[in-house]
Amino acid sequence: MWYFYILQSQKDLDYFYKGSTGDLKRRLNQHNKGEVDSTRPRKPWKLVYYEAYVSEKVARLREKSVKQSGSVSVPLLRRIKKSLED
């Protein structure tokens, strides 16, 4: 399985990181250990959302579409933030 995922910084609760991986647990550990340059300054991270895909290509396309399109990312992040309020 491949995953598109969204992490929330526990240092800056308004910051969300979007990525894709074939091993979600390993990748989250890498983010939290500071092994990913782009996320090191805002660690620790909490997994707040993921989608599972059969192929790497589709997971990476989903990541790209969410990162590039506000019409895709804004409603998704709004829904995630709403679910985190309680």
Query: What is the domain extent for residue 35?
Result: 2-84
Backbone angles phi, psi at 16, to 5 degrees: -125, 135
- Global pTM reads 0.94
pLDDT of residue 66: 95
pLDDT at position 86 is 67
**Per-position pLDDT tens, the chain of length 86:** 999 999 999 999 999 999 999 999 999 999 999 999 999 999 999 999 999 999 999 999 999 999 998 889 999 999 999 999 86
Beta bridge partners of 35: none
Q: How many domains does the chain have?
A: 1
Determine the pLDDT at residue 71.
86
Q: Which residues have C-beta within 8 Å of that of residue 41, sequence separation ≥ 6?
A: none
What CATH number did the domain enclosing 59 receive?
Answer: 3.40.1440
